Structure 1
Amino acid sequence: MPIWRRLLAWLSDLRLAIGLLLVIAATSAIGTLIPQREASEAYHQLYDRKPWLGVVTGDWILKLELDHVYASSWFLALLALLGLSLVLCSWRRQWPALRAALRWVDYPSPRQLSKLSLAETIASADPGTDLKNLQQLLLAKGWQLHPADGRLAARKGVLGRVGPLLVHAGLVVLMVGSAWGALAGQRLERYLAPGRDLELLNSRGDNQLSVALERFAIDRDSVGRPEQFRSQLKLLDSTGVLRKEIEISVNHPLRFRGMTVYQADWSLAAITVQLGRSPLLQFPLRALPELGEQVWGLAVPTRPDGTEPILLTLSSEQGPVEIYGANAQAIGRLTPGGDPIDINGLSLRVVDVMPASGLLLKKDPGVPLVYGGFAIALAGGALSLVATRQLWSIADPDRHQLHVGGLCNRNLTALARELPALLAEIRQLRSPSSGNAKKSEQPQTA
């Protein structure tokens, strides 16, 4: 056998497709365990001191493209290989099987029927009439018929043979959509404070849409733990015309013209304080990971010359605000909107804390294909459950016998129960005289 034929046979082997599916599932799990599309420094901070699985450091994660698994070259190559395998399998196996199922098979000899999975022979005074009665019964039960001289072929559920082809086609469409989304999709994650907006630019750098945050609120339980985040958003076009206004929250995103805006996270943006009799001063807050997972703060000088700074830290927009001196000693605590305290002879009051909404904007052109492919695969899986039944019958007037045989690709037991019931109905349709004469006749297994 030529090499290209062996390669074609290997690629179209269903076992290869199943193996590739398992590999893709395993690599997809890696994408859920390792944070995706973060800055390079984040992977060094996470995995240089504590390597993933004890051996994979930040450098290896970046080299192996584990920071963007679903858009990596090797993952897309796996999808392409699986798609090629499914196409070849459908072309070499499923399509010929469907064509064979659509062709009518003629068995002219009773001996051929006796070799089928189910075969029965009944005595009949008029086999031709019984054959016509069988034809009418099958037609009434929704069978497709192909009559011939003295014999009959019938089938039911041929649509089930389309199921495997649809499953393969759906998986291929789904993978094309996934690859397209990974290559052409856009993803942007930003923190927005109330009153701020985010301009979305097209490929030419022109503003095509602006996302403005009107309000942001955090629903908390009785002990202060976050339960839900809510953002009131406005979408404005390039001319400033309002296109849509909606509140989003976790698990309730905004969808607009192929773009999806998710409520992904939260942060603290700024703190407003008053030092002595100064006007209200608003300072930006920054994350302090060295003090905790969700701790924000800033250093504020207490003297006009910038000396004697204090550190303000907090983990919630509700406070409290912890105050530390230059020697890292706790020197006080403030509540936003509460009374001031004296720090080094200077009155300090926290007016309020502004939270920021963490928004995730995604535009994935492959989503319609992914959903469409999933629907096609589901439809194919449902059709694959439909059993294809085939039935043949031959009238033998010389021996006064009617021969019936059948095949079924699944649930053969159901056809084995249906066949004797059909033969019983044929005996009931005989004329009264014929029925009395043949009352004692019993089916004979061929």
Structure 2
Amino acid sequence: MTISDSPQTTENLSSLKQAWRQLIKTVADLRLAIVLLLAIAVFSISGTVIEQGESIPFYQENYPEDPALFGFLTWKVILILGLNHVYTTWWFLSILVLFGTSLTACTLTRQFPALKAARKWKFYQKPRQFQKLALSTQLNVDNLASVNETLQQKGYKTFQENQSIYARKGIIGRIGPIVVHAAMLIILGGAIWGALTGFLAQAMVPGGSEFKVNNIIEAGPLSQPQIPQNWGIRVNRFWIDYTPDGTIDQFYSDLSVINNDGEELKHKKIYVNEPLRYGGVTFYQTDWGIAAVQAQVNNSPIFQLPMAPLNTNGNGRIWGTWIPTKTDLSEGVSLLAKDLQGTMMVYDQQGDLYSAVRPGMILDINGVKLKIHQLIGSTGLQIKADPGIPFVYAGFGLLMMGVIMSYVSHSQIWVLQEDERCYLGGKTNRSQVTFERELLGIIDSLETTKS
């Protein structure tokens, strides 16, 4: 006796097989799949409600420890659990993998066997077999050829063996669930692939400037090949269209994709919901700001000063800067602007409003002539690469097709000719009333033909 043939080894192999079958049965359990699906839905909702990819000060300000949101949700909880980047956390990806495993196990252990069983020819050889069918009857038909022809006219595929007929149609309805599961696996795979290889970045770029993607907010462990290295973006111009009442109608960015030598590779004007796509990277128009102001004192060269956003405690957006009026920086004025329409407010050193000014106007202040030439706007871009999106879209398309296929009824009819009696019965997996009507129509057609 060899070791492999020993009773102990055989018993161990049997135990392993039994444990493996039990594991597959547990993983394929519908209840587990429902729990995992609910967990995915809950955490996806949390990723929608809780802002993703923001800075720590943002969460500290909006989710303080006292008072905690809902009594427990604080910025520390959000950071510890990774709720600030839900879709790339190890536990969310693990849930997706486990759900995909459950779908795969269910497909292999239930859907494929059901399809295989549906494709088999099942002939009834005894009249008593028709008693277990909810719909069955006896006909005075002495020729199976007419029965076979009638079933085929109704769209059934028929198989005959001696005096017995098996007919079926709608087997695509058995394929539908398999397609649905395959589609969901493709969607899950696309989501996981996107989380591992994609990245998210932001940039606030003044008009006329060039930049490369480097302000990465969130990136997967395999995202480095997706980040552009041999090309960048030039913001040719940024502007805003305003409505007659002064509110923003739309803001635009004229962008050029340029290589490392400055040569233009692609050119496009973008605005909200109309992004620029190049090299698998998408540039969305999401924000705007005032980057700088160009001014001139007396006959000095035109100089440019940066403008910074000021804290208004939620009462609108204002940008400001300080413009020196003396070379030793001992005197100057404050300039405030709330938009790019051109009207700016000038305050003296005492903080009193001195005048309102528009581009091109000259002010006499502090013994000098101050000319404001123009405001320089900056475009706020969200930059995103997600290689999993094509798989997700393909999966959703396949999912819709699979759902439609699943609604097709799989109907089966058996016929047995014995002496002068013809037994006929059938069943379906859905649309029972419709199937009953169809079966009654077949019976009426056969009786009419007989008479």
TM-score, length of structure 1 as denominator length? 0.88
* Deviation for aligned residue 1:54: 4.7
> AA paired with 2:102?
S
Of residues 155, 159, 165, the one that matches 1:146 is 159
Distance in 1 of aligned mates of 2:23 and 2:350: 72
Of residues 76, 81, 102, the one that matches 1:59 is 76
Which residue does the alignment assign to 2:439?
Answer: 419
Distance in 2 of aligned mates of 1:10 and 1:58: 37
> AA paired with 1:367?
I
Q: Which string of whole-angstrom CA distances, capped at 9 and with x for unpartnered residues, describes residues 142-182 of structure 1?
A: 31111111110000000111111111111111111111111
Q: Does 1:185 align with 2:184?
A: no
Structure 1's 394 and 325: CA in aligned 2 closer, same or farther, altered over 3 A?
A: same
Structure 2 residue ranges without an equivalent (≥5): 1-14, 215-223
> AA paired with 1:193?
P
Structure 1's 23 and 326: CA in aligned 2 closer, same or farther, altered over 3 A?
A: farther
8 A contact 1:318–1:353 mirrored in 2: no
Equivalences for residues 358-397 of structure 1 within 5 A: 358-397=380-419
- Larger mean CA deviation between 235-244 and 380-389 belongs to 235-244
Which residue does the alignment assign to 1:278?
Answer: 300
Distance in 2 of aligned mates of 1:53 and 1:223: 40
Of residues 317, 327, 334, the one that matches 2:340 is 317
Structure 1's 367 and 313: CA in aligned 2 closer, same or farther, altered over 3 A?
A: same
Compute the RMSD of aligned alpha carbons.
2.4
Distance in 1 of aligned mates of 2:67 and 2:408: 53
Distance in 1 of aligned mates of 2:348 and 2:122: 93
Which residue does the alignment assign to 1:233?
Answer: 255
Count of residues paired in the alignment: 424
Distance in 1 of aligned mates of 2:347 and 2:62: 28
8 A contact 1:173–1:373 mirrored in 2: yes
Q: Secondary structure at the match of 2:244?
A: coil
Which residue does the alignment assign to 1:403?
Answer: 423
Structure 1 residue ranges without an equivalent (≥5): 436-446
Which residue does the alignment assign to 2:62?
Answer: 46
- Larger mean CA deviation between 273-282 and 371-380 belongs to 273-282
Distance in 2 of aligned mates of 1:29 and 1:183: 21
Q: Secondary structure at the match of 1:114?
A: helix
Structure 1's 326 and 74: CA in aligned 2 closer, same or farther, altered over 3 A?
A: farther
* Deviation for aligned residue 1:334: 2.1
Distance in 1 of aligned mates of 2:90 and 2:365: 58
Distance in 2 of aligned mates of 1:19 and 1:45: 34
Which residue does the alignment assign to 2:24?
Answer: 8
- Larger mean CA deviation between 340-349 and 279-288 belongs to 340-349
Q: Which string of whole-angstrom CA distances, capped at 9 and with x for unpartnered residues, describes residues 35-75 of structure 1?
A: 21122233223323764445333232211111111111121
Distance in 2 of aligned mates of 1:4 and 1:308: 82
Distance in 2 of aligned mates of 1:16 and 1:327: 70
> AA paired with 1:176?
G
Q: Does 1:243 align with 2:270?
A: no
Distance in 2 of aligned mates of 1:301 and 1:44: 36
> AA paired with 2:427?
L
Structure 1's 254 and 117: CA in aligned 2 closer, same or farther, altered over 3 A?
A: farther
Structure 1's 416 and 66: CA in aligned 2 closer, same or farther, altered over 3 A?
A: same
* Deviation for aligned residue 1:295: 2.0
Which residue does the alignment assign to 2:89?
Answer: 72
Structure 1's 15 and 325: CA in aligned 2 closer, same or farther, altered over 3 A?
A: farther
Q: Does 1:296 align with 2:319?
A: yes
Which residue does the alignment assign to 1:164?
Answer: 177
Structure 1's 209 and 408: CA in aligned 2 closer, same or farther, altered over 3 A?
A: same
Structure 1's 264 and 133: CA in aligned 2 closer, same or farther, altered over 3 A?
A: same
8 A contact 1:318–1:336 mirrored in 2: no
Structure 1's 246 and 393: CA in aligned 2 closer, same or farther, altered over 3 A?
A: same
* Deviation for aligned residue 1:416: 0.5
> AA paired with 1:98?
L
Q: Does 1:351 align with 2:373?
A: yes
Structure 1's 205 and 423: CA in aligned 2 closer, same or farther, altered over 3 A?
A: closer
> AA paired with 1:426?
L
> AA paired with 2:42?
A
* Deviation for aligned residue 1:413: 0.8
Q: Secondary structure at the match of 1:224?
A: coil
Distance in 2 of aligned mates of 1:146 and 1:371: 40
* Deviation for aligned residue 1:238: 3.8
Q: Secondary structure at the match of 1:190?
A: strand
Distance in 2 of aligned mates of 1:43 and 1:290: 19
Which residue does the alignment assign to 1:444?
Answer: none
* Deviation for aligned residue 1:417: 0.6
Distance in 2 of aligned mates of 1:308 and 1:328: 13
Distance in 2 of aligned mates of 1:320 and 1:310: 16
Of residues 205, 209, 221, the one that matches 1:196 is 209
